């Protein structure tokens, strides 16, 4: 049986460009200062480096320092820690979101839609399998940044998930698309949508306004923050999503298909 409430803490940081040690030190202080109840703590895309196209210098193995740090934070603070980082495996590089549990279990999803506009597809290998993570009876579909533009990949199925989670480095110049598409994914999938982005500027001069957001299953805005670094915990209510789907059973009429 699912717990009625799910506490998700969103960390919207100003990432220090390609400086893993500085970023992990900042996050460690931030996570330690969270006083509210938390089941899941969410960091953005490539949280330890920024959106870098230099995996040859920055990639770490799954038994490397950053994954170990995530595991330690999960144990120390009794929460699930998630976010994406640059991983090297079998000679290939992945933009991989990890779902690190305090019991040592780690789930992983490799970003499927690589951002060719920034040549991400020339440096990284795409994933081909979704990860539906679970906590306290809730199901969460984990996605990364550019995946947001491709609704079929996120589509709810006959056994629907409850939360669609996007971690991103989404630039300010396209923030309208970020906010609009997050809201659209909530409406079409009748789920909560959580989007965690960064602020500041990166080593390529791109500006980020954050706009980390939480939307409800009817597309209603639950929380959104623009412009500055921020930590915020949102509490999601399982009764709300269940009642909404019972009253408006739109998912029953969805097209049937299989992703190949």
Torsional sign, CA 59, 65, 66, 70: positive
Measured distance CA(233)–CA(48) in Å, rounded: 21
- Token readout for 34 is 């969270």
Report the percentage of the chain scoring pLDDT > 90.
95
Measured distance CA(178)–CA(189) in Å, rounded: 17
Catalytic residue among 38, 60, 79, 111: 111
**Is 204 annotated in the active site?**
no
Instruction: Give the helix/strand (H/E) hosting 185.
Output: helix 175-189
Catalytic residue among 145, 179, 191, 238: 145
**Is 220 annotated in the active site?**
no
pLDDT digits (tens, 9 = 90+) for 74-86: 999 999 999 999 9
Residues 6 or more apart whose CB falls under 8 angstroms from that of 97 comprise: 45, 82, 83, 84, 108, 109, 111, 131, 142, 143, 144, 167
Q: What is the mean pLDDT of the chain?
A: 96
User: What integer pLDDT is reported at residue 2 of this predicted model?
Assistant: 61
Other CB atoms closer than 10 Å to residue 183's CB: what's the count?
Answer: 20
User: What integer pLDDT is reported at residue 1 of this predicted model?
Assistant: 47
pTM of the model: 0.97
Helix/strand/coil (H, E, C) string of 14-81? ECCCCCHHHHHHHHHHHHHCCCCCCCEEECCCCCCCCCCCCHHHHCECCCCHHHHHHHHHHHHHCCEE
pLDDT digits (tens, 9 = 90+) for 215-243: 999 999 999 999 999 999 999 999 999 99
State the helix-helix crossing angle for 65-77 and 20-32, rounded to 10 degrees. Answer: 0
**Is 76 annotated in the active site?**
no
Q: Which residues of 207-220 are buried (b: 16+ CB within 10 A; e: fewer)?
A: ebbbbbbbbbbeee
Specify whether the CB–CB gap between 144 and 150 falls below 8 A. Answer: no
Catalytic residue among 45, 79, 179, 238: 45
What parts of the chain have a pLDDT lower than 50? 1
Domains annotated for the chain, with CATH where assigned, are: 5-251 (3.60.110.10)
Q: Which residues of 100-133 are buried (b: 16+ CB within 10 A; e: fewer)?
A: bbbeeeebbbbbbbbbeebebeebbbebeebbbb
Closest CA to 198 of 40, 91, 89, 52: 52
Chain-centroid distance of CA 250 in Å reads: 25
């Amino acid at each position: 049986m699912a717990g009625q409430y799910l506490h998700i803490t969103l960390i919207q940081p100003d990432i220090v460009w390609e400086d893993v040690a500085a970023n992990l030190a900042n996050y460690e202080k931030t996570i330690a200062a969270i006083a509210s109840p938390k089941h899941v703590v969410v960091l953005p895309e490539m949280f330890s480096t920024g959106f870098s196209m230099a995996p040859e210098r920055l990639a770490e193995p799954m038994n490397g320092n950053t994954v170990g740090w995530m595991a330690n934070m999960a144990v120390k603070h009794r929460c699930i820690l998630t976010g994406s980082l640059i991983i090297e495996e079998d000679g290939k590089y992945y933009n991989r979101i990890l779902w690190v549990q305090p019991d040592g279990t780690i789930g992983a999803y490799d970003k499927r839609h690589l951002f060719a506009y920034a040549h991400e597809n020339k440096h990284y290998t795409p994933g081909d399998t979704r990860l539906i993570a679970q906590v306290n009876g809730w199901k969460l579909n984990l996605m990364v940044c550019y995946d947001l533009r491709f609704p079929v990949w996120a589509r709810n199925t006959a056994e629907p998930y409850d939360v669609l989670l996007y971690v991103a480095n989404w630039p300010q110049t396209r923030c309208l698309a970020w906010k609009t598409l997050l809201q659209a994914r909530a409406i079409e999938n009748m789920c909560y949508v959580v989007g965690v982005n960064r602020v500041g500027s990166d080593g390529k001069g791109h500006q980020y306004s954050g706009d980390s957001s939480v939307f409800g299953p009817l597309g209603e805005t639950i929380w959104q923050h623009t412009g500055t670094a921020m930590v915020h915990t949102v509490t999601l209510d399982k009764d709300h999503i269940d009642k909404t789907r019972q009253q408006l059973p739109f998912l029953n009429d969805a097209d049937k298909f299989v992703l190949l």
